[in-house]
Amino acid sequence: MLKHMINLPRQVSRNARWSIAQTVISAIVLFLLYKFLLRELGTEQLGLWALILATTSLARIGELGFASATMRFIGRYKGEGDDKAAAEVLETSLMTISLPFLVLTVLAYWLAQGLLYLVVSAPNLALAKQILPWALLSLWLGVTSSLIQSAIDGCGRMDRKNMILIGSNVIYLCGAVFLATGYGLEGVAIAQAIQTLAALVGLWFIARWELKALPWLPYRWRRHRFNEIAAFAFSMQIGSIIGLLIEPITKALLSRYLGLSFLAFYEMANQVVTRIRSVLVAGFQAIVPQFSTTNSETVHESLFLRTEQKTLDIGLPFISIVIMSFKAISLLWIGKEEQIFITSGHILSGSWLIVTLLMPAYFYLVGTGQGRPIAVGQVASLLGTIALGLLGSYANTKYGILLGCATALILANIYLYMHATNRLFKSRRIISASQLLRNKNCISVLAYLSALSIFFTIDFLLDTPLQHALNFTVCAAMTAGIALIAANIKRSNK
């Protein structure tokens, strides 16, 4: 996969390799852990764990976008050789966010308890309240470590950061298996808290190694550093706040209308898709700082197009294989062909494939500090998730909610893609059918989508028509969306 990546400095390639390694190992850990938990605790408790994590993640609103700002400014000061200023940026971020976040975490505990009454059935409420404090502790430790991770990224050492994260994932797996045997779901929550604490300590040592001016414990707050960080952070935070609401709302809708067992299998399918997609994202994530190091539109255009082309070359076959593998994954992971898991996986894979191919637009917007269109896109995605998700709940299929939420996600990311490409490439023109047929990218897309159609047709003849009607719908949407993306790449290169 790395051979296909755009030509970047050696350290960037090294960062990409370790990012991919961390993502793959994290996915393996998750696979083993969920398989164990499904056998030991059952679908109800696994679904409850997914819901608690989604609910507590709302408290990440308190991070206020400082992680992105920390990476941006530390990268700039490290590039200028000013380690003292870079250290002041990290200390100021930690003092601004981590300490007040303790108060927010306590408030989130009371808020989350109220939310649990709305989305968790009465028999599971006691257990939900039991694991909530541990989940919130993990959240606070995770938010604090995210600032340190961003600082290490800004120093250009994603490789060292990912080494620490790999070790913490192994700790999580071992701890969860050991503690779940005696303490059930609460043991899993305790193991996650231990993991995040271990990661925080390890990351802080790496940060002090890279920024020699950092003290053993942060204690300095600089007003002028806060002002420059906040100006950028707040412009990005609106989109982040809205984005954090989407996953809990989706899971709340599923829990409310379809139950925790359905949510458990959806969560497993969601983890498969997002973890596999994150392998692709990790390989290209090191590109984000490249956009911020120059204001040259020519460089931005070239970087955008090369990234997008390689994303198409890698992402399309990669996720297409995943789509066709969900039955095998179900047999391996669950022990049977679980239709909720398989169909959810097909819907999620189709939508995230399109979003993945659109991700260079997001990289460009983040790297150049354009927070407003990201916020607009997230608002559109949130409103679409609520409206189309509720509409889907009244459809004559239990997958209506998923289809509605997936549609909202795709439409929001198409908006971001159109905004970014219109900024980069001023002249646009209508694509004719003959141009599409001559476009080698589109021919490649149609070849992959034809293979998927044949796969689903064979599967259709052997199974129930209702489930696979949904698969055909996803496949058709993928064909149209990806063909337009491919055509845009070809057109913009001219």
User: In this predicted structure, what is the pLDDT of residue 227?
Assistant: 82
Does residue 182 sit in the same domain as residue 311? no
In the predicted structure, residue 449 carries a pLDDT above the cut 90:
no
Domain final position from 235, 269, 300? 235
Does residue 364 sit in the same domain as residue 491? yes
- pLDDT, averaged across the chain: 77
Cβ burial of 108 (10 Å; 0-12, 13-18, 19+) is buried
Neighbour count for residue 431 (Cβ, 10 Å): 16
- Are 349 and 322 in contact, with CB atoms under 8 Å apart? yes
Does residue 493 sit in the same domain as residue 373? yes
- For residue 382, the one-letter residue type is L
Whether 40 maps to a domain, the answer reads yes
Does residue 231 sit in the same domain as residue 291? no
User: In this predicted structure, what is the pLDDT of residue 475?
Assistant: 53
Does residue 226 sit in the same domain as residue 296? no
Whether 246 maps to a domain, the answer reads no
User: In this predicted structure, what is the pLDDT of residue 303?
Assistant: 79
Phi first, then psi: give them for residue 146, nearest 5 degrees.
-65, -35
Does residue 188 sit in the same domain as residue 61? yes
Domain extent for 163: 1-235
Domain final position from 195, 217, 235? 235
pLDDT digit string, tens, across residues 319-378: 777 777 888 888 888 888 888 898 888 888 888 888 888 888 888 887 776 777 887 888
| 414-418: Cβ within 8 A, 24+ apart | 414/358, 414/481, 415/373, 415/376, 415/377, 415/380, 416/358, 416/361, 416/362, 416/365, 416/373, 416/374, 416/377, 417/358, 417/361, 417/485
Q: What's the pLDDT band for 7 if we cut at 50, 70, 90?
A: very low
User: In this predicted structure, what is the pLDDT of residue 175?
Assistant: 92
In the predicted structure, residue 131 carries a pLDDT above the cut 80:
yes
User: In this predicted structure, what is the pLDDT of residue 13?
Assistant: 66
Which residue in 278, 309, 368, 317 sits closest to 5, CA to CA? 309
Whole-model pTM: value is 0.62
Whether 181 maps to a domain, the answer reads yes
Average pLDDT over residues 289-304: 72
Does residue 218 sit in the same domain as residue 318? no
CA-CA distance, 398 to 465, in Å (whole number)? 14
Question: Cα dihedral angle (406, 409, 415, 420), rounded to 10 degrees?
Answer: -120
User: In this predicted structure, what is the pLDDT of residue 168?
Assistant: 93
Give how far Cα 147 sits from Cα of 94, 164, 174, Å: 7, 15, 26
Neighbour count for residue 243 (Cβ, 10 Å): 18
pLDDT digit string, tens, across residues 396-444: 667 888 888 888 988 988 898 888 888 887 644 444 444 444 555 666 6
Does residue 338 sit in the same domain as residue 433? yes
Q: Residue 416 contacts by C-beta under 8 Å, 6 or more apart in sequence?
A: 358, 361, 362, 365, 373, 374, 377
Count the helices and strands in the chain (H runs, E runs). 19, 0
Average pLDDT over residues 378-403: 85
Average pLDDT over residues 232-250: 73
Q: Residue 88 contacts by C-beta under 8 Å, 6 or more apart in sequence?
A: 213, 220, 222, 225
Which residue in 70, 141, 151, 68 sits closest to 102, CA to CA? 141
Q: What's the pLDDT band for 130 if we cut at 50, 70, 90?
A: confident
pLDDT digit string, tens, across residues 51-68: 777 656 655 555 556 777
In the predicted structure, residue 264 carries a pLDDT above the cut 70:
yes
Number of domains observed in the structure of the chain: 2
| 382-420 residues labelled b (16+ CB within 10 A) or e (exposed) | bebbbebbeebbeeeebbbbbbbbbbbbbebbbbbbebb
Task: Please tell me which residue, 431 or 454, carries the higher pLDDT value.
Answer: 454
**Mean pLDDT comparison of 177-191, 417-431, 454-468, highest-scoring range:** 177-191
Whether 311 maps to a domain, the answer reads yes
Q: How many residues does the chain have?
A: 494
User: In this predicted structure, what is the pLDDT of residue 356?
Assistant: 81
CA-CA distance, 158 to 23, in Å (whole number)? 12
Whether 261 maps to a domain, the answer reads no
Does residue 302 sit in the same domain as residue 432? yes
CA-CA distance, 377 to 412, in Å (whole number)? 5
Domain final position from 191, 216, 235? 235
Does residue 225 sit in the same domain as residue 320? no
Three-state DSSP class for residue 196: helix
Does residue 343 sit in the same domain as residue 213? no
Does residue 316 sit in the same domain as residue 446? yes
